[in-house]
Amino acid sequence: MGGWASADGELGAAVTVYIYALEDHGGSVRYVGRTRDPELRLQQHKNGSSSATSQWALSGELARMSILEELPVGSDVGACRRAEKKWIKEHESTSMLNRYGRQYDGEILTNLSVRLPPEVAKRVRLRAAEDERKIQDILAEAIVAWLDRPRARKGRGA
């Protein structure tokens, strides 16, 4: 059963899903997202409702939204996510604000209000991915240790 996928991946009534890009005044794509209502989503970005783009959009750098792809009515959540990720990957050499796909350069750009050269942004993403793997390994070890911990038996009183 298909349906639209909201930004958080929930299914709803069957409608068209749009993959969109937000561009700065220089024409660079800074954010890729998905929505079922482009006009409303653009207003949300412009008024700072999106944590990924709020500081950037409120600074006046958001120039326009362009529709990259329309997914047909009935597209499932997986298809919507794959389409969005495809477009993020297409624009990953730019200074993206997306946090998907372990693209942390946008977070750094937002916090420092600077634009990193693409080669530096790529190194930051690679380092962040390495750190993410280390964190996942540490968490996995902690979970296994917690699951394997000796458990005190509760006494049964008579």
* pLDDT bucket at 116, cuts 50 / 70 / 90: low
Task: Kindly report, residue by residue over 25-58, the tens digit of the pLDDT.
Answer: 988 899 999 999 999 999 999 888 887 788 888 8
Buried b or exposed e, range 64-87, using 16+ CB within 10 angstroms: ebeebbebeeebbbeebeebbeeb
* Rounded distance between C-alpha atoms, residue 32 and residue 37, angstroms: 14
pTM as predicted: 0.56
Contact, 34 vs 15, CB < 8 A? no
Q: In whole angstroms, how far apart are CA 105 and each of 15, 61, 110?
A: 33, 17, 9
DSSP classification of residue 94: S
Task: Kindly report, residue by residue over 129-141, the tens digit of the pLDDT.
Answer: 788 778 888 888 8
> Topology of domain 17-121, per CATH?
GIY-YIG endonuclease (3.40.1440)
